[in-house]
Amino acid sequence: MSAAGAPFPDLLEKAVRLADRFALGASHYDAAGEIPLANFAALFAAGLLSLTQGKETGGPGLGLAEAQAVVSEIARGEPSTALVLAMHYTHHRAAAISGTWPRHLVERVTRANLEGIALLNSAQVEPRIGSPSHGAPPETIARRDGKVWRISGHKKYTTGITALRWVLVLATTREPEPRIASFLVPTNATGLRVVEAWNATGMRATASHDIILEDVAIPAEDIIDAHPASEGLKRDEQRMAWYFTLIAAVYHGIARAARDWIVHFAASHVPGSLGTPIARVPRIEDGLGEIEVRLTTNARLLRSIADDADAGRALGVEAGIVKHVVIENAVAITSLALDLGGNPGLRRDHPLERHHRDAICGRAHAPQNAMIRVMAAKAALPEQRPPASPESGPRRSANVGRRPVVEATPP
């Protein structure tokens, strides 16, 4: 049965089996800081790279709930693979539903996605301005030269770059009235080079290196979502729900892996002085219970956002808030597992310390927690209006019952 016709339980079972297999090589890729290219070949063979591709272009056309489930499973095995996959799913979903992608580019990326490994991600963060979610326009410049755009700039944290087929480069056009747009750039384009700058504590196998673009030429029609720079960056609420919760699903998968290790350890480790598994010790039992509470909370929150997004319901800032909570819970779970595991949990030949290093990297994804809290505060506060006269009485907040659109961008 083709991937497009496969029922989701079959695809999820493939993801479970692949996660178990990927886990066997996770420590190698972590130590080497090397992207797991073989994992993406396996995902393609299983029909999982096209999961969110629309049926009209030959994909299964599945939604956010299914994408979360697959990403979480893959992250349980090898989270760097899962992060690249999450980005790939997000951009394919945007291509399918946003209406900002030209038809010829949708056809190009979806056809390639069915024919082989054709991973897609964006390049937005820059050395001086950081993430564009902070409000500054990109300093990467695209200038029109006849039938091509010529792009020059420096991007950081381009996740998966050494495995990508294309990168969506966010740039400001050099025009009388500048626009901000994304440009579909092949990673083998002349003038694009990778600088291997990624050397993080965790998520080491993501290959989130820098790229330098020097007069990279692409066809004039390969431009996406161009709008006046004066309007700033605006993101579709549905797309942001996918980005926020697929990123969170990666770290939920990491927390699940840590939970599995510590539960097995606590149930099987019998100190001579105790004569029974440490899971019977009240302190250990309480800690395991807290892990279960946090994991269950994460799973329920993620699924609730997925259900709302798949149903087309408004989300406002809630998807960002769920990202915040899920990642903080994942960090807490891995930290607690380390505490419960003691010295064995810190050994490099066990995965627990790696799970913790990977989990804390979740806090770096833009918009970071402080910005999400500011967004939540602004959504809660009444709109600024002139003070009411003493006779007018109390006013109902204009924000009551209304969810504002999230204006933020992924890295």
Name the domain boundary from 84, 117, 150: 117
Domain shared by 372 and 266, yes or no: yes
Cα–Cα dist 390/369, whole Å? 39
CATH of the domain at 188: 2.40.110.10
Residue-wise pLDDT for 18-55, tens only, equals 999 999 999 999 999 999 999 999 999 999 999 999 88
What pLDDT was estimated at residue 56?
A: 87
Residue 40: inside a domain, yes or no? yes
Q: Which of 57, 86, 117 is the last residue of a domain?
A: 117
393: in domain? no
Pair (105, 129) in one structural domain: no
Is 241 in the same domain as 356? yes
Q: What is the pLDDT of residue 308?
A: 97
272 Cβ contact partners less than 8 Å away, ≥ 6 residues apart = none
Q: Which tops the pLDDT comparison, 78 or 60?
A: 78
Find the domain containing 373 and state its range: 237-380
Q: How many domains does the chain have?
A: 3
pLDDT (tens digit per residue) in 229-277: 999 887 788 889 999 999 999 999 999 999 999 999 999 999 988 999 9
Residue 390 domain-assigned (yes or no): no
State whether 21 and 95 are in the same domain.
yes
Give the Cβ contact number of residue 395 at 10 Å: 9
- Per the CB < 8 A criterion, the answer to whether 298 and 263 are in contact is no
The domain boundary, picked from 209, 231, 253, lies at 231
Round to whole Å and give the CA distance between 46 and 43. 5
Q: Residue 403: inside a domain, yes or no?
A: no
In contact, 362 and 247? CB cutoff 8 Å = yes
In 3D space, the residue among 296, 303, 324 whose CA is nearest the CA of residue 406 turns out to be 324
| pLDDT above 70 as % of the chain | 92
Check which CATH number belongs to the domain holding 316 and give it: 1.20.140.10
- In tens, the pLDDT along 333-389 reads 999 999 999 988 888 889 999 999 999 999 999 999 999 999 999 999 987 555 554
